[in-house]
Amino acid sequence: MRILLVGDIVGKPGRNAVKQFLPGLKSEYSIDYVIGNADNASGGFGLTKDNADELRVAGIDGFTLGNHVWDQKEAPKMIEEDPQMARPENFPEGSPGRGYFYLDGVAGLMCVLHLQGRTYMEPIDCPFIVGERIIKDIRENTNVILVDFHAEATSEKQALGRYLDGQVSAVIGTHTHVVTADEQIFPGGTGFQTDAGMTGPHESVIGVKTEGPIKKMVHHMKCRFEVATDDVRFNGTLIEVDNISGKCLSIERISRSLDQ
């Protein structure tokens, strides 16, 4: 089974990159399932239903979100009604939606589990304990489990990957918008990469026009962040998984540039 996780999709430029590259990549790599992290897909803040529909037409099968999940007012209703959309599983009890979903097709059954980190982020439930607990239930249905870990600290991402080694097919980080070159398979058979990177404008500060972040950091002033437009790139991580054992057989970074 071949599964692609598209790194954080940022705004319209990111959505355009998905539409430009994903159909060809699915054919070139014989990809079975595509998951998109869409935490910044609508104007840089969250995801709307219209944009989710747009990305589905382009070939994305399911979505993970993250710390911006509630930034769009329609999000709670949308995530409750959409069976292939996940907010982090370790959000407080009673939060709308769910933290994992299944995809089933010719290639077989797989599960996408979404967790969020706590280091330098909001204090929520422990992703290690919550993740391990829910994985036991998921493995009663399938051993093919992809974890999107939406976290800030590289150490926390690597620690979770090691903690879940042998229990899931892969732990791939999102949220920092910077692709890392540490894709590997751990001894227990779990694929890992600290961050899948950003699908969006790279002539920016993690996807937004540079003026806003610089003003905020230099003068400590509130300012509006606007999605940038230049040097648009597609970034994602492709894993190949044994359908029975769930072990990762290969992991590969994929990067494409609209300028090329």
Catalytic residue numbers read 68
Residues 8 and 199: beta-carbon distance below 8 Å: yes
Contacts of 49 (CB under 8 A, 6+ apart): 74, 78
Please give the structure tokens belonging to residue 149.
């870990």
User: What is 142-188 written as a DSSP string?
Assistant: -S-EEEEEE-S-HHHHHHHHHHTBTTBSEEEEESS----S--EE-TT
Residue 205: C-alpha distances to residues 104, 195, 226, 234 (Å): 37, 16, 10, 16
